[in-house]
Amino acid sequence: MDRASAYEAEGRRFESFLVRCDDVCVSFLFVGGSLGESQRGFVTSAQASLDVFGMRLALSEAAQAGMLGEVPVGAVVMLGNVVLGAGGNRRETLLDPTAHAEILALRNAAKTVRGWRICDATLYVTQEPCAMCAGAAVNARIRRLVYGCPNPKAGAVQTLFQIPKDERLNHRVEVVSGLLAEECGVMLSAFFRSLRASAGA
Q: Across-strand partners of 144?
A: 122, 174
| The amino acid at 8 | E
**CB of 174 within 8 A of CB of 40?**
yes
User: Catalytic one among 61, 102, 128, 183?
Assistant: 102
- Whether 182 is catalytic is no
d(CA 197, CA 129): 26
Half-sphere exposure of 70 (CA within 13 A, CB side): 23
The beta-strand segments (E) located in the chain are 19-21, 25-26, 29-30, 33-35, 74-79, 82-88, 122-127, 144-149, 174-177
Name 11's Cβ contacts closer than 8 Å, sequence gap at least 6. none
- Residue 191 and residue 63 in contact, taking contact as beta carbons nearer than 8 Å: no
Spatial distance between the Cα atoms of 201 and 196, rounded to a whole number of angstroms: 9
Active site residues: 102
